[in-house]
Amino acid sequence: MSQIKVDSIVPRGGLSGGASGGIIQTVHAFSTTKIETSSDADIISATITPSSSSSKILFMYNGNVAQESTEGREWAFIAYRGSTQIRLGRDENSNSRATFQAFGTDNVAVGSNNNGSYTITGILVDEPNTTSAVTYKLAIEQFYTSGTTAIVKIGESGWDGTGIEQVTNGYSLTLMEISG
């Protein structure tokens, strides 16, 4: 069997307007493991080794999350490169910052059944400036609570309020090295 291996394929006329780009490699992680927590938790991670220090990494996450709550609690999705938080929202007025959508159930009366389900999709571009292996991860972190009874569930898109899941599903993290 014959193989052709190249670092990149560029059109004969080159890339237009000083453009760069081209996918060099893709790493994909997928999980169906249910995460159920009332505190901060890592969700999923993947490791990629850039072939050039000028490469960019396209980080793409997709999954569902459900929350069972009888008290107010709010959550944020945070992306990490190694142990460093990346691409957070602006630092303003002592607000909590997130990489991707934050969600929660603020001001929920005790005893009510406020069970939300959310689809979380996030895309960002990072520049790690290295040719060493880099581990990226997505975590969920609590940034507000008015009580202790809220439970967040990753890998579940429905909750009927009685402890029975309506729909379970998977979630994924895809990393693509893009030539710089």
| Alpha-carbon distances of 164 from 157, 167, 173, rounded to whole Å | 12, 9, 27
pLDDT score at 162? 58
Instruction: Answer yes or no: are the C-beta atoms of 175 and 136 closer than 8 Å.
Output: yes
Query: Looking at residues 21-35, what average pLDDT do you find?
Result: 89
pTM summary value = 0.78
Cβ-based neighbours of 42, under 8 Å, separated by 6 or more: 137, 138, 139
pLDDT score at 85? 87
- Report the alpha-carbon distance of residue 46 to residue 30 in Å, rounded: 9
- Report the alpha-carbon distance of residue 80 to residue 64 in Å, rounded: 19
Report CA torsion sign: 83, 86, 88, 90: positive
| Tokens representing residue 158 in the block | 């429905």
Query: Looking at residues 42-68, what average pLDDT do you find?
Result: 91
- The answer, yes or no, to whether residue 72 has pLDDT greater than 80, is no
- Report the alpha-carbon distance of residue 23 to residue 6 in Å, rounded: 12
